Amino acid sequence: MRYDFAEFRSEANRKVNTKNWFRQLQDFGLKSNEPLVELYIYDFLSDKRNDTYPYYIKDLATNSYYESLQNRLQEQYPNAPFTQFYISEIATDNYSLTLNQTDVDFKWNRIIYFVLFASIILNLLLLLKLLKQKRNKKAISLSKLTKQEERILTLIHQDKTNKEIAAEIFVSLSTVKTHINNLYKKLDVQSREEIKALKH
């Protein structure tokens, strides 16, 4: 073990070696068929001062080894104080692991809800702003119309054809078409139906 850690000096190699030795020590304890050896190894691996502690915490969440060790200790040393101590240590670590996971989940939920709420509010504000700009633009566009264009707009709303409009305001058909094209440009529309949809 000392050789493995002395040979490589990089952080990545140290992490790989720590993880490998974590497994090797657990396997050695299992092969010994003595729960006290496993308990001693557990004490070393779960010590917060050691580099193995982060691996122990991850392993505790997924590995049934610790429950098996508890069962072996209870079978061979049911009334021993170290058995009770091990049981309480595992329970404490499991509780803190569950508590930390709940805190992380709770924090993420709060962040997600906040982002969702902020997004909805911003979208509503943007929608209101766009609607207001659209109304202002149409109001400004309508105020730019000449008297003749306003009359033609009114007649278009009454479903009059170009010929009927020309006859009613006493101008030529080409003049009506010119006024209608000007209306399209000023009101930023593409068709007669869009003009009819505008409130006058």
184 and 190 Cβ atoms separated by less than 8 Å: yes
HSE on the CB side for 60, CA within 13 Å?
21
Which domains does the chain possess? 2-99 (no CATH), 144-200 (1.10.10.10)
pLDDT tens by residue, the chain, 200 residues: 544 445 556 777 777 777 777 788 778 888 888 888 888 888 887 888 877 777 777 877 777 888 888 888 888 888 888 888 888 888 888 777 776 665 556 677 788 888 899 999 999 999 999 988 877 766 656 778 889 988 998 999 999 999 999 999 999 999 999 999 988 888 888 988 888 887 65
HSE on the CB side for 193, CA within 13 Å?
0
pTM recorded for the entire structure: 0.43
Interaxial angle between packed helices 147-157 and 173-187, expressed in degrees from 0 to 180 and rounded to the nearest 10: 90
Nearest to 138 by CA among 182, 188, 184, 185: 188
- Transcribe 3-63 into DSSP letters: HHHHH--SHHHHHHHHHHHHHHHHHHHHHHT-HHHHHHHHHHHT-TTSTTHHHHHHHHHH-
